[in-house]
Amino acid sequence: MPDFTPVLQPTEPDESLLDRLAFIERITLVAAVVYFALNLAGRLFVLLGFEFPADRHLMIAGAAMAALASALSLQLSGPRFSRRAHRLAVLLAAAVTLVCAVITCEYAFHLLPGRLGSGAAASMHFGAAAAFALLGAALVLIRAEKRVAVIAADSLTFLLVLLVLVLVSGRVIAALGIFGPTTAPSAPCATLLGLVILTAVAFLRRAENGVYSILLGRGIGSNIARGLSPVLFLLPYVREFMRARFFSIHRMPPHYTTAILASIAVMLSFALLLFLAWRINHMEVEIHELSLRDALTDLYNIRGFQLLAEQALRMARRAHLPFSVLYIDLDDLKRVNDTYGHQAGSALLVETGKILKASFRETDVVGRIGGDEFVVAGQFSESGLSLATQRIDEGMARHNAEANSPYKLSLSIGSVSTDPSAQQNLDELLGIADHAMYEEKRRKKLPVDR
């Protein structure tokens, strides 16, 4: 049965991947809302004088409120919600942006007076405030469709990811003590965890229709980007960690330390280049195969057959070997389609392809060049031709004996074999085999016409 499914472009997102990410996003957002609400409730309990377990590990009240508002904004901006919910999502995101931008400016420029300024600065870490301001601005444009707004949303998301990476990696490096003890203040772990969750969800949301959609596509570039992204994220941190360790132990001259690290970076980059080239070549082979194959029978299509059969004919003449061509027609396919449906006709075509594959060698070129027409070309003589025809007849008989169907599989075969000194081209050989096939079909009908 013909396949009328439209061909999807490589840049279009992979629907199965989108479905999995949407499920993960929903679960993550629900968990985030609960987590932030518990942190905010814990802070309120502490302010009211009640005991709250692990209150030292809670988010600061300002950070908890910003995180909760951002999570609700992400939740309400989803496609399942109404326009009113989307407007509420934008208002929540705008409020987060405004408040956190004020806190960031107070840290940088001390614009607010006295207690108000000190209270604003104490409500959130400077880096966390800047990150929440960027997050809120990105969420305001999360559903943007106009080109300028899309570019702005993608740019804000990029800056947000950069800032969160700086904050998280800085906290991890300080905790590991690579450069010794530090007195510089860091954002609390609970706040960083909230930022990581919200940034990841916002990034995935933007990846559905922005520049980051390349990561969710079904093309070669998308597959390579998904595979290499984790490696490219980790390599710089590994390199800097090794550099810090080498310089801290003082057992190697600095110029050798630099040389070792540079050499490792060169070879890792070279390994990535080799992997990238290998992956692209592998996918190009797959695409080339798909462009030369018939989708229903997995035999070569007319383009693939002509390309490979011409090559086989040239090699046969160069090696002084005989060359043969078979032209095969599936009898009564139209009657089977009209009587039993196109699915039955497709099943006959598939079975014919299987019989032909089993009857010839892997080096022979087997193709389907029309609705019910098959061709075979290979470097074999008339005796090999007879043997192959016998195998086809045995395959048909075996199928008809085993198949429980009201119609029989019947093939009309015409063939031609040429010696190395002959100068016929492939089209001429196909014409001779085609004529012989029609003669065979006519002979089959003669007893019926009498």
One domain, residues 62 and 99: yes
CA distances from 217 to 212, 221, 230 (A): 10, 8, 17
One domain, residues 334 and 288: no
One domain, residues 307 and 277: no
CA gap 336, 327 in Å, rounded: 21
Number of separate domains in the chain: 3
One domain, residues 201 and 88: yes
Paired tokens of 3 = 């396949």
One domain, residues 265 and 247: yes
One domain, residues 55 and 125: yes
Residue 199's region, left for phi above 0, alpha for psi from -120 to 50, else beta, is alpha
Sheet containing 323-330: give its strands across: 365-368, 373-378, 323-330, 411-418
One domain, residues 196 and 246: no
Cα angle 340, 343, 345; round to 5: 70
One domain, residues 307 and 234: no
List, in order, residues 6 or more apart from 99 with CB less than 8 Å away: 62, 66
Paired tokens of 355 = 């019989």
Which among 217, 243, 264 is the end of a domain? 217
One domain, residues 288 and 313: no
One domain, residues 49 and 182: yes
The pLDDT tens digits along the chain (450 residues) read 333 333 445 555 666 777 788 888 889 888 988 988 888 888 787 777 666 665 566 778 888 889 999 999 998 988 788 889 999 999 999 999 999 998 888 877 776 555 544 555 556 778 888 999 999 999 999 888 788 988 899 999 999 999 998 888 888 877 777 666 666 666 778 888 999 999 999 988 888 777 777 777 766 677 777 777 887 778 777 777 777 776 666 666 666 666 767 777 777 777 777 777 777 767 666 666 667 788 888 898 888 888 889 888 888 888 888 899 999 999 988 888 888 888 888 889 999 999 999 999 888 999 998 888 999 999 888 888 888 889 999 999 998 888 888 888 999 999 998 877 777 889 999 999 999 999 988 888 765 444
Domain assignment of residue 276, given as a range: 219-292
CB-based contact 77:89 (threshold 8 Å) = yes
297 within some domain:
no
Global pTM?
0.59
One domain, residues 234 and 203: no
One domain, residues 193 and 284: no
CA distances from 113 to 97, 104, 128 (A): 21, 15, 22
